[in-house]
Amino acid sequence: MIDFSVIWFAIIVFSTLMYIVMDGFDLGIGILFPFIKSAQERDVMMNTVAPVWDGNETWLVLGGAGLYGAFPLAYAVIADALAIPLTLMLIGLIFRGVAFEFRFKATEAHRAFWDKSFIGGSLLATFSQGVAVGTILNGFPVKERTFAGSAMDWLTPFTLFCGLGLIIAYALLGCTWLIMKTEHDLHKKMSSLTTPLLYLLLAVVGGISLWTPYAHDPIAHRWFSVPNIFWFLPVPVLVLVCAWGIMRAVKREAHYSPFLLTLGLIFLGFSGLGISIWPNIIPPSITIWAAASPPQSQAFMLVGSLLIIPVILGYTLWSYYVFRGKTRMGEGYH
């Protein structure tokens, strides 16, 4: 018998990972804006993602819709528990999107306002996403299939630390994206920022890796029990290998490998989150099967998803292929 819950969990995980990767680097560009003062270089930074940024958020919509239809209990609990950070995230994304379009049409007198809106929206959206991830790791109190906590349960030192950590992760992703897409002075500036951001990210990953099992005994047991520890050991090893590869690539002035290796770091971090909570979709105790909608509903939705996901992937691949290569100064907004 087909386990639709596992299939839908995989679709939601894939959609979330695609969103983190693809929207991560353009949010990272907003986070990096304060480090670049030249208006022309800021134009180039935005032009590198102008043709693709709005399509990146399709994956966020797909993941949210899939969660709503396939795991309605999880959607209800998460939407209730994370109402404030998710609302802040949407406000940040709105400001980022509006600033993206209006900045290129604004007069010089007003452009500074839209630059600040772009920076603030990127920071707010990223920080809110990190807080949401930290709250999911902490888990949700559920009673009679209803969220039983308070509206401020998300506000803890751990979740705030996760928010700051995601800002650093997206900044590194944006930095290596710009290494791949730009040249000359801007390329050199991004190369010089990569190593400090990488060290900060490794410190954050190390902090979360120590904090999480210390605060959650079930996660500590899952990580360090035998034989699990031997299955999970490759994750930190691969993180160090990717970090070493990024530093070497930056030193030899590589263009593509820093970004590809940073994608590897993001994937490894995301896999660590999955390892920590599986098979629960509402930590600490509600599994994907307990939160699932009826199999008939999941099967009905799956038919449409199997049609639309290849279309989204095809559109995404085609748009990145068309706008491949370096973005140069003076090319204009696409």
DSSP string, 43-94: HHHHHTTTTTHHHHTHHHHHHHHHHHHH-HHHHHHHHHHTHHHHHHHHHHHH
Across the strands, what pairs with 147? 142
The pLDDT value recorded for residue 110 is: 82
Would you give the DSSP letter of residue 234? Answer: H
Question: How far, in Å, CA of 47 to CA of 45, rounded?
Answer: 6
Cα 176 to the center of its chain, rounded Å: 15
pLDDT value of residue 90: 93
pLDDT of residue 226: 73
pLDDT of residue 195: 93
pLDDT at 263: 92
Question: What one-character DSSP code corresponds to residue 34?
Answer: G
Q: What CA–CA distances, in Å, run from 298 to 39, 52, 230, 251, 295?
A: 49, 30, 35, 49, 5
> 146 has which bridge partners?
143
Average pLDDT per block of 10 residues along the chain, 334 residues long: 86 89 89 89 87 80 89 91 94 88 78 90 94 89 84 91 94 94 89 93 89 78 74 84 93 90 89 79 86 90 90 87 79 56
Task: Please count the other Cβ atoms lying within 10 Å of the Cβ belonging to residue 41.
Answer: 17
Number of C-beta neighbours around residue 324 at 10 A: 9
Give the number of other Cβ atoms within 10 Å of residue 321's Cβ: 8
- Contact assessment for residue 71 and residue 325, using Cβ atoms and an 8 Å cutoff: no
**Dihedral sign (CA 280, 281, 286, 292):** negative
DSSP string for residues in 100-138 = HHHHTTS-HHHHHHHHHHHHHHHHHHHHHHHHHHHHHHH
Whole-structure pTM value: 0.92
Q: With contact defined as beta carbons under 8 Å apart, do 272 and 280 qualify?
A: no
The rounded distance, in Å, linking the Cα atoms of 17 and 5 is 18
Maximum distance among all alpha carbons in the chain? 64
Task: Please answer whether residues 266 and 18 qualify as being in contact, where contact means their C-beta atoms are separated by less than 8 angstroms.
Answer: no
For residue 252, the 8-state DSSP code is T
Distance (Å, rounded) from C-alpha 68 to C-alpha 147? 16
Identify the pLDDT of residue 331. Answer: 63
> Which helix (H) or strand (E) segment is 154 a member of?
none
Torsion sign (Cα): 65, 66, 71, 75? negative
Which is it for strands 280-282 and 286-287: parallel, antiparallel or unpaired? antiparallel
| Tokens found for residue 333 | 């907004």
Say which amino acid occupies 212. Answer: T
Structure-token pair, residue 147: 């969220």
| pLDDT at residue 271 in the model | 80
